[in-house]
Amino acid sequence: MNSTPADEHKFLELVTENRNRILRVCRVYAWNSADQDDLYQEIVFQIWRGLPTLKESQFANTWLYRVALNTAISFTRKRSSGFARSVHFEHADLTRKIESRQTTAASANAADRIADLYTAIYKLDPLERALITLFLEDFTYEQIADATGISANHVGVMLHRAKKKLSCLMVEEAPQ
């Protein structure tokens, strides 16, 4: 892509506006901080490459999620393919350990709950993770269907099943 200052401005605006959304997607699909950084850069790169194809800016939000989720799903598969297993430490335990160093005692409980949520999400399959991410980002069924290409009816069924699974997993993850 031969970028013009206008393109660069548009790109920076889009990435800055959606920075937190992209980071949350990265955290759902990439477990450790090094992988999250790699995935963040990959998603931003795909946005950079695909930006000329984005004609109407009112659809930018959905478009961005499409790019982010497709890149993340593909990234996860590439990282795990070719090798029998990849090693990951227990998500909740490590996140709790890292975040408890950075937070005060008052916010430690919230950090624990977020870590439990991520651990539970991490145990879902890639499609369910995409649906849950979009649901947590406050997308309607129609918007989810538009972003994923799954029919709205199927989105309802699949999301219901994923949420049920997630709540069970969160109960399992919660400290006794």
Token pair 């975040």 in the structure block, residue:
99
Least Cβ distance, residue 106 to another protein (angstroms): 13
Residues in contact with 148: Cβ distance below 8 Å, sequence separation at least 6, in sequence order: 66, 69, 127, 130, 131, 134, 155
Q: What's the rounded Cα separation, in Å, for the pair 77 and 29? A: 10
Least Cβ distance, residue 165 to another protein (angstroms): 9
* Residue pair 118/92 in contact by the 8 Å Cβ criterion: yes
Closer of 88 and 142 to another protein (Cβ): 88
What is the torsional sign of CA 149, 35, 86, 97? negative
Closer of 142 and 153 to another protein (Cβ): 153
Least Cβ distance, residue 105 to another protein (angstroms): 15
Number of other residues whose CB lies within 10 A of the CB of residue 9: 11
Least Cβ distance, residue 175 to another protein (angstroms): 14
